[in-house]
Amino acid sequence: MVVVVSEEQGEVDKFRKWDLDITPHRRLIKEGIELPAAMHADPRFRNMQRMALDEAFKEDAHPFRIAIVCAMWLTGFDVPSLSTLYLDKPLKAHNLMQAIARANRVHEGKNNGLIVDYCGILKNLRKALATFAGTGDAGHGGEAGDTDPARPEEELLADLSEAIAFVRSFLEERGASLDDIREKTGFARNAAIVAAKEAANENDETRKRFEVICREVFKKFKACLNVQGVNAHRADYDTINVVYKSLQQDREKADISDIIRQLHQVVDAAVEIREQDDNADNGVYDISKIDFDRLRKEFESSPSKRTTVQNLKQAIETRLQRLLAQNPLRTDFQQHYEKIVAEYNREKDRVTIEQTFEALLTFEQSLSEEERRAVREGLDEESLAIFDLLRKSDLSGADIKQIKKVAVELLARLKAEKLKIDHWRDKETTRDAVRITIRDYLWSDDTGLPVAAYTEDDVNEKAEDVFRHVYRAYPELPSPFYTSSVA
C-alpha cells in the first residue's frame, strides 16, 4: 500500500508541523519502489533493483496492490487491471466520469469494475451521465437527468436468478444436478460434482460454454452484493463456484503422471488391496513403459472419462506449447494434436472417447521421444533448434556432423557477443549486427555449412531462418524459452 501525494512547494515544512517527515516518502515516489526477491526470478526483472511507482502498480507480479490518492493518479492514470475504486472525495462532472472510468478498463481475468461510494455521489453521477453520455443534448431530445446508473434491485436479482437457471438447465440436459451438489454430502456429493464436471467436459465447446455461464453468475452475484434478498441465491452461487473452481484446478494441475496414477487407483481399489512398497517410485511415469491394455481397462472403469480426456489434453497442450516455443520446426506435432482433438469434438460416443484417450497417450509418448531427441543427437535443446533449421535432406553423415558443430559454435558465438547487449532487438544496428554475424558464420569456409551440400541460396535462406528464430527466442540471456521456468 502506498499513499501517492502530489509534490508541492514547502511541503517539508508543512508536514513537519504535523510531526511527519515527507522526505523518505517523496524519495520513494521519485526513485521508485524496490522489487521483491521473487520477481528477480523473471528474466524481465533480473537486473532491475527498483521500479517506478506507477509501473509497479501496473505490474501483476509486484505486491503493490493498494494506492491511496487525492488528485494524482485519480483521473489520468491508466491501469487496466484496476478492479475496485473506493471514493471518499466529492467529485462531479468530467472529473467524476474520468475517475470511475479508472475501474472500467478491460483486462484478462477481470469481468467488471467495482465503485464503492462513501460520500454519496449518485446524484452527481446522474448529472454527469446526462451531460457526458449524450442524454441531455439536443441530439437526444434535450432531456436531461433521466440516466440512472443504478438499476432497480428487483432487476438485478432477476438477472442473477436467470443466470443460475441457465447453469442448472445446462447440467440437467446432460444428466447432472446442481441441487445434488448443494444438498447431498460425503461420497454422494463428490459423485454429483464429478457428474457436473463430466457434463461440462463433453467437448471443448461445452467446456467453454459452461465456464462462460458460470462467470455470468459470478458477475451478476457481485452486482447484487448489497441488495436485500441476495442471500436466497448464495447457496446456488457457492455450489456453482465449487464446480467451476474444480475445473480450473484440473486445468492448472494437469499432469500426465497424476492422471495415470488416478486411473491406476480406480482399478486397484476395485480389484485388490496392495501393500505399499517403500521403494516404489511415485514420481513421473515413463510413458514408453505404460501397459496400455491395463490402462485401457482402467479408463473403461473410470466414472469421469470426459474429465480425464480434458485433463490429459490440457497437460499435452502445456507440454506441446513449450516444445513449439523452443523449436519452430515442431509444427507437425501441433497438426497431429489438432487432428486428434477435431475428431474427438465431432463424435462423443463411448468408443470415440476411449479411442481419443489412447491416441492422446500415444501422442504424449511421441512428445517424450521428441524431448529425448536432443540427447540422441548429442545436443541440448537450444543447439538442436539451430541444427534443425540448418539441416536439409540427403546429407551425408560427415555433413550432419559438421552441421551439428556449426549449430553449437554459432550459438555460443552469438551468446558470447551480440546477444549479451541489453534490448538488442530494439535497435536496427544491433539487429543487423546479429543478422550479419549469422550470415558470415554460415558462409565462412572455416566455420560454415558444407560447401558441396549448400548453394548460395540455401545459405542465405538458412541464415534468415536462424535469425528469425534467434530474434524470437533470445530477447535476453538466458532465453526465457529454455530456462527451467518453462519446463
φ/ψ (deg, to 5) at 116: -105, 115
Rounded to whole angstroms, how far apart are CA atoms 46 and 37?
Answer: 10
- Write the CA distances from 191 to 165, 245, 268, 303, 438, integer angstroms: 21, 16, 19, 9, 59
Q: What mean pLDDT is predicted for residues 429-453?
A: 91
pLDDT at position 284 is: 45
Domain boundaries defined on the chain: 2-140, 153-253, 256-274+283-376, 381-486
Amino acid 395 reads L
pLDDT digits (tens, 9 = 90+) for 89-98: 887 777 777 7
Q: Is the pLDDT of residue 269 over 90?
A: no
pLDDT at position 322 is: 84
More confident residue, 350 or 332: 332
Q: What mean pLDDT is predicted for residues 329-352?
A: 76
pLDDT at position 120 is: 76
Q: Identify the top-confidence range among 44-58, 165-179, 329-343.
A: 165-179
**Alpha helix segments (H runs only) across 301-391:** 305-326, 331-346, 350-376, 381-390
The Cβ of residue 380 has, within 10 Å, a number of other Cβ atoms equal to: 13
The Cβ of residue 295 has, within 10 Å, a number of other Cβ atoms equal to: 17
Cβ–Cβ under 8 Å, residues 449 and 394: no
pLDDT at position 376 is: 87
Of 333, 299, 332, the C-alpha closest to 316 is 333
Find cell 469434438 and name the residue.
Answer: 345
Rounded to the nearest angstrom, the gap between the alpha carbon of residue 106 and the centroid of all alpha carbons in its chain is: 16
pLDDT digits (tens, 9 = 90+) for 273-284: 344 444 444 444
Which three-class secondary structure state does DSSP give residue 89? coil
Whether residue 478 is preceded by a cis peptide bond, meaning omega within 30 degrees of 0, is: yes
Q: 209 is written with which cell numbers?
A: 460454454
More confident residue, 315 or 257: 315
Rounded to whole angstroms, how far apart are CA atoms 35 and 49?
Answer: 6
Q: Is the pLDDT of residue 137 over 70?
A: no
pLDDT at position 347 is: 63
Rounded to whole angstroms, how far apart are CA atoms 447 and 251?
Answer: 47
pLDDT at position 256 is: 55
pLDDT digits (tens, 9 = 90+) for 303-328: 667 777 777 777 777 888 888 888 88
Find cell 524496490 and name the residue.
Answer: 34
Of 164, 151, 286, 163, the C-alpha closest to 226 is 151
Q: What mean pLDDT is predicted for residues 331-342?
A: 82
- Averaged pLDDT of the chain: 80
More confident residue, 119 or 238: 238
> Considering just the CA atoms, what is the radius of gyration of the chain in Å?
30
Say what percent of the chain tops pLDDT 70. Answer: 81
Find cell 502506498 and name the residue.
Answer: 2
pLDDT bucket at 126, cuts 50 / 70 / 90:
confident
Cβ–Cβ under 8 Å, residues 193 and 246: yes
Rounded to the nearest angstrom, the gap between the alpha carbon of residue 469 and the centroid of all alpha carbons in its chain is: 23
pLDDT bucket at 212, cuts 50 / 70 / 90:
very high
Q: 320 is written with which cell numbers?
A: 506441446
pLDDT at position 468 is: 92
Rounded to whole angstroms, how far apart are CA atoms 313 and 353?
Answer: 12
Fold (CATH) for 2-140: Rossmann fold (3.40.50)
Q: What mean pLDDT is predicted for residues 455-484?
A: 88
Torsional sign, CA 229, 113, 215, 60: negative
Q: Is the pLDDT of residue 285 over 50?
A: no
Q: Is the pLDDT of residue 419 over 80?
A: yes
Cβ–Cβ under 8 Å, residues 240 and 246: no
Of 35, 46, 38, 39, the C-alpha closest to 478 is 46
pLDDT bucket at 351, cuts 50 / 70 / 90:
low
Q: Is the pLDDT of residue 451 over 50?
A: yes
The Cβ of residue 379 has, within 10 Å, a number of other Cβ atoms equal to: 19
Cβ–Cβ under 8 Å, residues 353 and 305: yes
Q: What contacts 24+ positions apart, CB below 8 Å, involve 315-320?
A: 315/254, 315/255, 315/256, 315/259, 315/364, 316/256, 316/360, 316/363, 316/364, 316/367, 318/254, 319/364, 319/367, 320/367
- Write the CA distances from 248 to 161, 243, 257, integer angstroms: 24, 9, 18
pLDDT bucket at 439, cuts 50 / 70 / 90:
very high
Q: 237 is written with which cell numbers?
A: 452461487
Torsional sign, CA 143, 149, 154, 155: positive
pLDDT at position 350 is: 60
Q: 69 is written with which cell numbers?
A: 490518492
Cβ–Cβ under 8 Å, residues 336 and 273: no
